[in-house]
Structure 1
Amino acid sequence: MIKHIVMWKLLDAAQAPRFKAELDSCKGLVPGMREFEVGIRTEGMEANHDVVLNSTFDDAAALEAYVVHPHHKKVSAYLGTLRESRAVLDYST
């Protein structure tokens, strides 16, 4: 299993719900995607990022299929215009 965790700091934190909705459109996009959860920061709780994706894939091939999928590429390009920074951690479980 491969965990794929991505966190974004947005240019405007008010865009977090829209950012989440765009990411949610990628759920179930490829075979081998086991989990796909998008969260946005909760006001009053500690956070230094605005949005997080916590996802799990069967293997590296499934993650790569997601990364290169045309819909993911389209969503990613759009979301790139809304972010200040992005942090990624992929690891085997």
Structure 2
Amino acid sequence: MIKHIVMWKLKESAEGNDKKTNAEKIKLGLEALKDKIPQIQGIEVGINNNPSNAYDVVLYSEFKSFEDLDIYQNHAEHLKVAGFVGAVKEDRTCVDYEV
């Protein structure tokens, strides 16, 4: 099992929205991928409620293999969401590990 965890720090405003609105759009977009990309075994997206923390949104997802993770990352539906995230993020960090 592969765990794919990503965290984003969002810009205060971008794409005509404030940070909170963009965080909600990211959450909805990523969670909708579960029904579009069969390689996703599990997905959870959280919006940070701790104002002292550096990151605003976290993605926790699971895949059977690194090959499935690669399929997900290059899937057209994922790339649409990633394009929006790229436009509204200030910073990103990611960890992929096998259990």
Query: Aligned residue for 1:8?
Result: 8
**Identity across matched positions, percent:** 39
Query: Aligned residue for 2:68?
Result: 62
Q: Which moved more, 1:35-44 or 1:3-12?
A: 35-44
C-alpha contact (below 8 Å) 1:10/1:85 kept by paired residues: yes
Is 1:73 the counterpart of 2:71? The answer is no
Aligned residues: 92
**Structure 1 residues 28 and 3 mapped into 2: Cα distance closer, same or farther (>3 Å)?**
farther
- Separation in structure 1 between the aligned mates of residue 89 and residue 75 of structure 2, nearest angstrom: 21
| Structure 1 segments of 4+ aligned residues over 4 angstroms from their partners | none
Structure 2, unaligned stretches of length 5 or more?
A: 13-18
User: Which structure's residues are more often helix, by fraction?
Assistant: 2
Deviation sequence 1:37-89 (CA, Å, 0-9, x none): 00001156x52200000001001111111001001011101111000011000
Deviation sequence 1:7-56 (CA, Å, 0-9, x none): 00000232211221122221243333211000001156x52200000001
Query: Aligned residue for 1:31?
Result: 38
If the length of structure 1 is used for normalisation, what is the TM-score?
Answer: 0.88
Query: Aligned residue for 2:29?
Result: 22
Structure 1, unaligned stretches of length 5 or more?
A: none
Task: Indicate the SS of the match to 1:17.
Answer: helix
Task: Indicate the SS of the match to 1:18.
Answer: helix
Matching residue's letter, 2:82: S
CA RMSD in angstroms, aligned pairs only: 1.5
